[in-house]
Structure 1
Amino acid sequence: MQEYLQRTEKILSRLNQLAAITEEPGQISRTFGSEAFMKGSQLVKEWMEAAGLQTRTDNIGNVRGRLEPAPHSKRTFVIGSHIDTVQNAGKFDGPLGVLLGLDLLENLSTIKPELPFNLELIAFSDEEGVRFHTTYLGSKVVAGSFEETALTKKDAAGITLNEAIKTLGGDPEKLKHDAIPSEVWVGYFEVHIEQGPVLYELNIPVAIVTSISGQNRIEITLKGMAGHAGTVPMPMRRDALCGASDFILKTEEYARKHKESLVATVGKLAIPNQASNVIPGVVNFTLDIRSANETTLKIAEKDLRTLAEELCRIRNLELSWELVQQTEPVTCNPKLNDLLSEAITEAGYAETKLVSGAGHDAVPISKVAPVSMLFVRCYEGISHNPLENAEPKDIAAALRVSENFLHKLLQEQLQQQHIGVP
């Protein structure tokens, strides 16, 4: 274990160096396409090059490093995670998976001629979707599912995604050339902090991810009538904020009733032209519904929309309901998870299986390849927060398990090649 703790020190040193590159002094913020993002990407690329990987930055800004066997093979296994952040982030969400993956490939480089397939490490450029409200930009390009309509999306400054890609040095017309064809994928592996409290409470360092919840994100507007706070009688008001408040509380009640199968969150709320002496006439807010069961997710959205319509009828409000993002639940690959299970057991840790309520780059990749994920215990489950933390002993455990897993995968593939299994 001492070897893995020593390697963990190097991973943590790199995490701290990357965390120091930020848009805002005193916090960690590296949104897609920003100057800080480009500087951080260049640093990761330099680390990949120093590790002996064949390195490039693709047209969406993904930093990619490959170990290629001899003789050359087109088949590819990808290790990845993202290096963009939310505003005022922690330093582990995303970069831990990239830098742990880099350590794995650094220590595999000595057996390069024995690799049965290419190994590619990808630092995805935009998983969080902060700037353009589009998640998985980087991994969608690699999966070949990037939607060209996204190129016209604008950030808060009016800059289009098309323009931002050119600023990065990419060519929007060549994005499709950066995809890995579905027929050459061997699989995908991602290490990520849990972003939840289960492992922390159980004091278990790692867990296998069995599935990733699907997500429906909806933008809602309630429109009533603005009016003077002192002159409009209570029974005659069309208060959009009261309607929104009623909906938010009833949404929480609905989610608590179905707590075993879904979660629901209203995370943003805006009142245009707000003032202390004005009855709110319009309220804009978001609704985020997640479930590992696709049917449950569809029923929940239908039920909550019906609820909103009924509240608007009672309060004489107008409703706008727009589904702006939809991802289906993802099941991680059973065969890869079997290898991961063996790797955990051989390392001497208890086998724990969890559903991920958060989305990950594994979601778009799952459309073209078998995916697997390993969760790492994090302090009190805190994430998207400067308090985000993972202890060295838990990172070392994840490193040990990941290396076991990779060796098992390589052995399995070499055996299949030896007996002629395609």
Structure 2
Amino acid sequence: MRSEAVTAEDAAAVADRILERADALAALSSHTDGIERTHLTAEHRAANDLVAGWIREAGLNARVDAAGNVCGRLEGVEPGLPALLLGSHLDTVPDAGRYDGILGVLLAIEAAAFLSPRADELPFAVEVIGFSDEEGARFGNALFGSRAIAGGLDESFWSAEDADGVTLRDAFAAFGLDEARVGDAARAPHELVGYLEAHIEQGPFLEDSDQPLAVVTSIAAARRFALDFHGVAAHAGGTPYDRRRDALLGAAAFALEVERIGRATGVIATVGRFHAHPGGVNVIPGRVELSLDVRAPADVERDHVVDAILERGRQLAAERGLRFESAEIYRADATIMDEDLAAAIAHGIETVTAAHAPHLWSRAGHDGMAVAAVTDVAMLFVRNGNGGISHSPDEIVESADVALAHRAFVAAIERIAAGARSTGVEDDR
């Protein structure tokens, strides 16, 4: 297909439209004093309806699939070709910002709209998707929409309950979906060319380096643990220091060691929960429950740091006469971006910025983690202002950055199309 660059003027108009649409989606909230739009709610339905309308305006067919994802398809040079999937998620965390996930869906729609007049030259179909539930805020099962696409839903998901005791199974039926047909949403590898996602960077690195866009190298390898330090609860006044087995002091020393090891290795390690028992102001804590979250760009780095941290926990416990216990509660291996798709995104960035494309690993999880089970994935990061704050009303993106992201995304897709067409010609020979 012939390459046709998006002009800066057209991209500026697209960016304004994207930001206006993000505002419109922000109004679809279960709260009037903030943004909250969770899975299988009235707000979810309203968002699907609104986005489906925009998909149709872009020249695509639109539908809601068997998992509640809103989808659109633009056929290529002939009907039924494998599709390049573009998108992100439409759900939010409580008290959310208006760009996490949403920006990626809106950029996907605009990229498809730009390609629509030349669809008969595309060597593949283009599909847009707004995933139903990436955050897992209502039922605790993250990546529901993208897991459904990958055919990876766990049977245990259906019994999960929200804060009001409504099960996912019942909410799914009330939304008008059929649990028995959710498998219809699954895609086979031969049906897809790949998956591209644009997303705000949920961190400060692009802002700190004064760069608008980056190509993602991997989605974090993560492990989480529930930890316990066990000591002896005793009277705060009557127990001398040399007789104390204070679980809180052991746990506090451990939390500081987690930070030290994380800083020294460049791996992100966090203690996010800390609960002392029995909790009396005049009682030495006999037990402390705490959490550990470790994230790294690759599995081997993550596992090395986990081993070091847990070993330090055991050492600190022994030094203070405590018992240390750990139980792994979550594990996700790194999702490495496909080399060719990532190179296309880097090409798009360099085309519109005339500078080397920065490379960043994503410290947060994304739908690409699930989609990678059925096709190759790659991601484009867009600068997130205000210190990189995300999952917050303080998320900020600038119109100029959105315009560059649109141009880079289109350039990346055209690069992929050129490669696919070239491969097809060679195969024909």
Q: TM-score, normalised by structure 2?
A: 0.90
Q: How do 1:112-261 and structure 2 match up within 5 A?
A: 112-259=119-266
Match of 1:321 in 2: 326
Aligned with residue 30 of structure 2, among 23, 37, 61: 23
- Seen in structure 2, the aligned counterparts of structure 1 residues 10 and 324 have a Cα distance that, compared at 3 Å, is same
Worse overlay, 269-278 or 117-126: 269-278
**Residues 66, 183 of structure 2: 8 Å contact kept:** no
Tell me the distance in 2 between the aligned counterparts of 1:46 and 1:370. Answer: 28
Deviation at 1:397, TM superposition (A): 0.4
Residues 132-161 of structure 1, C-alpha deviations (whole Å, 9 max, x = no match): 333222111111222223333333444333
Deviation at 1:361, TM superposition (A): 1.2
Worse overlay, 369-378 or 156-165: 156-165
Tell me the distance in 1 between the aligned counterparts of 2:214 and 2:317. Answer: 44
2:427 counterpart SS class:
coil
Match of 2:310 in 1: 305
Aligned with residue 366 of structure 1, among 356, 367, 372: 372
**Residues 27, 88 of structure 1: 8 Å contact kept:** yes
Tell me the distance in 2 between the aligned counterparts of 1:172 and 1:224. Answer: 48
Match of 1:103 in 2: 110
**Residues 192, 373 of structure 1: 8 Å contact kept:** yes
Tell me the distance in 1 between the aligned counterparts of 2:261 and 2:304. Answer: 12
Tell me the distance in 1 between the aligned counterparts of 2:19 and 2:428. Answer: 40
Residues 290-317 of structure 1, C-alpha deviations (whole Å, 9 max, x = no match): 1112112122222222222333344454
Q: How do 1:367-386 and structure 2 match up within 5 A?
A: 367-379=373-385, 380-386=387-393
- Seen in structure 2, the aligned counterparts of structure 1 residues 155 and 243 have a Cα distance that, compared at 3 Å, is farther
What amino acid does structure 2 have at the position aligned with 1:372? A
What amino acid does structure 1 have at the position aligned with 2:314? E
Match of 2:57 in 1: 50
**Residues 218, 322 of structure 1: 8 Å contact kept:** yes
Q: How do 1:374-413 and structure 2 match up within 5 A?
A: 374-379=380-385, 380-413=387-420
Worse overlay, 156-165 or 119-128: 156-165
Answering whether residue 288 of structure 2 is matched by residue 283 of structure 1, we say yes
Answering whether residue 23 of structure 2 is matched by residue 13 of structure 1, we say no
Tell me the distance in 2 between the aligned counterparts of 1:114 and 1:131. Answer: 42
Tell me the distance in 1 between the aligned counterparts of 2:232 and 2:68. Answer: 46
Residues 10-53 of structure 1, C-alpha deviations (whole Å, 9 max, x = no match): 10000011112222322222232343333323322232233332
Aligned with residue 82 of structure 1, among 89, 92, 96: 89
**Residues 59, 165 of structure 1: 8 Å contact kept:** no
Residues 47-78 of structure 1, C-alpha deviations (whole Å, 9 max, x = no match): 22333322222333221111123531241110
**Residues 206, 383 of structure 2: 8 Å contact kept:** yes
**Residues 96, 192 of structure 1: 8 Å contact kept:** yes
- Seen in structure 2, the aligned counterparts of structure 1 residues 326 and 336 have a Cα distance that, compared at 3 Å, is same
What amino acid does structure 1 have at the position aligned with 2:183? K
1:393 counterpart SS class:
helix
What amino acid does structure 2 have at the position aligned with 1:386? P
**Residues 214, 328 of structure 1: 8 Å contact kept:** yes
Worse overlay, 74-83 or 58-67: 58-67
Q: TM-score, normalised by structure 1?
A: 0.91
1:402 counterpart SS class:
helix
**Residues 268, 295 of structure 2: 8 Å contact kept:** yes
Residues 351-395 of structure 1, C-alpha deviations (whole Å, 9 max, x = no match): 222222222111222232111111111112221221110100001
- Seen in structure 2, the aligned counterparts of structure 1 residues 321 and 35 have a Cα distance that, compared at 3 Å, is farther
2:134 counterpart SS class:
coil
Answering whether residue 350 of structure 2 is matched by residue 345 of structure 1, we say yes
Match of 1:60 in 2: 67
Tell me the distance in 2 between the aligned counterparts of 1:237 and 1:228. Answer: 10
Match of 2:5 in 1: none
Percent identity, aligned pairs only, is 35
**Residues 58, 170 of structure 1: 8 Å contact kept:** no
- Seen in structure 2, the aligned counterparts of structure 1 residues 269 and 57 have a Cα distance that, compared at 3 Å, is farther
Worse overlay, 165-174 or 112-121: 165-174
Residues 314-369 of structure 1, C-alpha deviations (whole Å, 9 max, x = no match): 44545442222211112211112222232223224312222222221112222321
Aligned length, in residue pairs: 420
What amino acid does structure 1 have at the position aligned with 2:342? N
What amino acid does structure 2 have at the position aligned with 1:339? A
Tell me the distance in 2 between the aligned counterparts of 1:274 and 1:157. Answer: 29
1:48 counterpart SS class:
helix
Deviation at 1:125, TM superposition (A): 1.7
Tell me the distance in 1 between the aligned counterparts of 2:9 and 2:388. Answer: 26
Deviation at 1:100, TM superposition (A): 0.9
Q: RMSD over aligned Cα, in angstroms?
A: 2.4
What amino acid does structure 2 have at the position aligned with 1:353? H
Match of 1:336 in 2: 341
- Seen in structure 2, the aligned counterparts of structure 1 residues 184 and 241 have a Cα distance that, compared at 3 Å, is same
Worse overlay, 272-281 or 171-180: 272-281
- Seen in structure 2, the aligned counterparts of structure 1 residues 362 and 30 have a Cα distance that, compared at 3 Å, is same
What amino acid does structure 2 have at the position aligned with 1:338? A
Tell me the distance in 1 between the aligned counterparts of 2:209 and 2:229. Answer: 43
